Amino acid sequence: MLPWVIAHPGSTVEEVCSRFGYGTHDDLARDLEMIFVCGLPGYGPGDLMVAFIDDDEVVIDTADYFERAPRLTPTEALSMLAAGMALMAIGEGSPALESAVDKLAATVAPDTGDGLAIDVDAEPELVSPLREAASNSRLVEITYTSLGRGETTRRTVEPWVVFTSLGNWYLTGYCRLAEAERVFRLDRIRELEVSDEEFTPPEAPPEPEVRYSPSDDDIRCRIQLTDAARWVLDYYPVEIVEESGEGVVIDFWASDASVAARLLLRLGDRAHLVDGTEVAAALRELGQRILATYEQR
């Protein structure tokens, strides 16, 4: 659906539902809500896609990487096939997954029979010393280049856990420079020194996962959400300020004010900007751009 709607701006709800087999307006709306919280991977929300229904028009924006239907490379196809076969091997498969695996295997590995060997890359060289430092509660000094700003800094870190996710290796721990928990990608650590100084690890470290940690340079705004918009709490870096019978008030962080502005535009009357000058300005600008585009049509 995405490539077709992007290539046909101004498509109506009826056209999209008919072409792609949506039974009702609500079915399409649910898919658009899922699209809205998707985007390229990274530490923060980044440039998430804009997807909504405006009167009778289906609008999808900031999704240039879906302008054409994606095509898997041989490596990506084999990785997907191996992951599907692994799920089936531990009993987590489904009829739909079995069908997909059969079709994919017939296309990318037709002559393998029942066996498929996967060569897994060796662990990066920093994994072992960082894992040992975490095990022995030793401080580490790292020279690190941040993913968002490209800034290189020297940091003292209390390492907790080394883990892998989506093909990358990460370190989670307490950063004394930021004075907060941080997640570091190992391929962005330029130098590493393990200190003899010990630290006291937390009794129950957070579950290792790639998540967004607000920085001092981020934009903050305060938003009031109705109950219908509580899903925002599960998808964005927020802090709950107040809860009531009418909804919840949150503090929202992002590296760019336009991220919060697009969210507010999508939520409509299900959200209200309580505080945030930069976000209010970005919201006005975005609204003016959309209005100008609509008037041109």
- pLDDT over 60 (residue 47): no
Choice between 195 and 206, residue whose per-residue pLDDT is larger: 195
Relative to beta strand 189-198, strand 219-225 is unpaired
CA–CA gap between residue 5 and residue 12 (Å, rounded): 9
Relative to beta strand 238-244, strand 247-254 is antiparallel
β strands within the chain, DSSP E:
50-54, 57-61, 138-145, 152-165, 168-175, 180-185, 189-198, 219-225, 238-244, 247-254, 271-275
Of these ranges, 81-90, 173-182, 237-246, 284-293, the one predicted with the greatest mean pLDDT is: 173-182
C-beta neighbour count of 190 within 10 angstroms = 11
Q: Are 13 and 53 in contact (CB under 8 A)?
A: yes
CA–CA gap between residue 166 and residue 41 (Å, rounded): 10
Give the tens place of pLDDT for each residue, 171-199. 999 999 888 888 888 888 999 999 999 99
Domains of the chain: 2-66 (no CATH), 74-108 (no CATH), 127-198 (2.30.30), 219-296 (3.30.70)
Of these ranges, 58-67, 184-193, 212-221, the one predicted with the greatest mean pLDDT is: 184-193
Classify residue 95 as exposed, middle or buried by CB count within 10 Å of its CB (0-12, 13-18, 19+): exposed
CA–CA gap between residue 232 and residue 80 (Å, rounded): 29
140: confidence class by pLDDT, cuts 50, 70, 90 = very high
- pLDDT over 90 (residue 68): no
Least confident of 31-35, 91-95, 155-159, 233-237: 233-237
Q: Which residue from 217, 201, 49 is spatially nearest to 146, judged by alpha carbons?
A: 217
- pLDDT over 70 (residue 156): yes
pLDDT for residue 42:
46
Give the tens place of pLDDT for each residue, 222-255. 999 998 888 887 667 678 888 877 789 999 887 7
- pLDDT over 50 (residue 43): no
Tokens at 247, concatenated: 């909804």
Of these ranges, 33-37, 65-69, 115-119, 272-276, the one predicted with the greatest mean pLDDT is: 272-276
Reported pTM: 0.43
**Contacts for 37-41 with beta carbons within 8 Å, 24 or more apart?**
37/235, 40/65, 41/166
The rounded radius of gyration (Å) of the Cα atoms in the chain is 23
C-beta neighbour count of 86 within 10 angstroms = 12
